[in-house]
Amino acid sequence: MSKGKSGYEGPLERIDDVRWRIPKSYRADMRVDGMIFADDVMIETIRQDKAPEQVANVATLPGIQKASLAMPDIHWGYGFAIGGVAATDAEEGGVISPGGVGYDINCGVRLLRTNLTWDDAKPRIRALIEDLFATVPTGVGQSGRYKFGKPQIKELMEQGVQYVVDRGMGTARDVEFAEAGGRLAGADPDRVSDRALERGYDQCGTLGSGNHFLEVQVVDRILDEVAARVMGLVEGTIAVLIHSGSRGLGYQVCDDYLAKFADCSKKYGIELPDRQLMCAPLRSPEGLAYLAAMRAAANYAWCNRQLLTHQARESFGRVFEVPWESLGLELVYDVAHNIAKFEDHEVDGRRKEVCVHRKGATRAFPPGHPEIPALYQGIGQPVIIPGSMGTASWVLAGRPGSMLHTFGTSCHGAGRLMSRTAAVKLAEGRRIDKELDAIGIIAKARGHKGLAEEQPAAYKDVDQVVEVVDRAGISQKVARLRPVGVIKG
């Protein structure tokens, strides 16, 4: 099915002010309803894209539970819409679909807080951004200073963040405050191809390109004083947001398994409305192999963000001429948004284990959930929502409504409004870096094209996206962050 230009022409039934249903009666092959979270303004933009049709397509997957879900940052993706969520049950023939995870396995974000005030940092902000850009490798195919041979990279993919922390490039807190402790159990590096290992050899600790970034921000506004205090966020202080994933290794894992899944629908008698939804039963040899490889790539991604953190800390220490520890440069949280995980959820009044696909969607567990760190038990899991490099980012906390409505999930960002090609065309004759500088944001990138692709106009209004999930009771606003400097590929 091609994206097309006509948009979505099927039904969208209003449930309340932020939820819209695609009834399973829309198509004979749908097993459950589709559910999109959006307000009145956003739903009209969403209708202009074919992404709702992808929500309906996902509703056809064997073993899918409750509904095929989409967050307010929904837009067209490979197989699944970006912003898509689906839980499948192995006991009911449930499947795993690489398109429901994405090419960049465990692309995610982490937030660091500091004791630095904006007044302290402002005189050195340009020097800091220059140093970060010189220190952190950015751009397509860029190699980094950390090299891992085949035995080492396999160990890293099995152990996750603990592997690099044990080598002096992090702290115990960095392990504790990463989703899943920075490691998915059940990873099997032997399920990862040699080509993927080659691509990952020198890319751990590199930012990459596209929408990946390292951003220096100011805590602009506190909306939940209690939660902000627990997270260590203080109005007027500096924070750092890092957005990257599993780099070429994860991309190769996805590519490899899409090829291996090509005949699975025929083999297992699965009818698919879109070939990009190719999948395999969770308990099939193919499904188990992909899950093991996906987990290994996810662990690599957590190590990548940890090494990016280590380099950022070194940069801060150099520029401010003190040990980074004295700056309070601590991890608030690290959360994945391209992943599939087995979790316990209530479905039709019964507790069961399901495989939750989150593609461009972020976990948002509520207060008291056993999988979040002890420090956050009373407030809920931190949920980190980056905007575009010219707009705000948000920190939220998971709420009980996420377990009721979305398998413990929230949105993951602003969501694209236009393709990268369209964004580049819109930027013709302009200098996005100069425009950002004029509003007080220093932007560094390998070339003008990367900044053009990621210009603020290419994205939805992140404040509006966050308002939807807050009103839905999925996650609650804690703090707003405004950018003052960003490096990109």
Contact at 8 Å (CB) between 481 and 217? yes
Cβ atoms within 10 Å, residue 457: 13
Tokens of 69: 């879900």
Distance of CA 101 to the CA centre of its chain: 10
Which residues does residue 355 pair with via DSSP β-bridges, in sequence order? 88, 342
Question: In degrees, to the nearest 5, what angle opens at C-alpha 427 toward C-alphas 102 and 82?
Answer: 15
Residue 469's nearest CA partner among 354, 337, 392, 362 is 362
Q: How far is residue 287's CA from residue 280's CA, in Å, rounded to a whole number? A: 5
Residue 131 has, within 13 A of its CA and on its CB side, a CA count of 17
Residue-wise DSSP of 267-311: HHT---SSGGG--EETTSHHHHHHHHHHHHHHHHHHHHHHHHHHH
Burial of 185 (0-12, 13-18, 19+ CB in 10 A): exposed
Distance of CA 378 to the CA centre of its chain: 24
Q: How far is residue 46's CA from residue 363's CA, in Å, rounded to a whole number? A: 22
Residue 379's nearest CA partner among 178, 225, 218, 174 is 225
Return the sign of the alpha-carbon dihedral for residues 113, 115, 118, 123.
negative
46's CB contacts (< 8 A; 6+ apart) are 8, 36, 38, 52, 74
Q: What is the CA radius of gyration of the chain?
A: 21
Q: How far is residue 55's CA from residue 70's CA, in Å, rounded to a whole number? A: 7
Catalytic residue among 337, 345, 412, 448: 412
Q: Is residue 377 helix, strand or coil?
A: coil
Tokens of 178: 């990463």
Place of tokens 């390109």: 209
452's CB contacts (< 8 A; 6+ apart) are 423, 424, 426, 427, 430, 432
Contact at 8 Å (CB) between 314 and 95? no
Tokens of 453: 């692709």
Based on the residue annotation, tell me whether 448 is a catalytic residue of this protein. Answer: no
Q: How far is residue 57's CA from residue 34's CA, in Å, rounded to a whole number? A: 9
Residue-wise DSSP of 4-23: -SS---S--EEEETTEEEE-
Residues acting as catalytic residues:
412
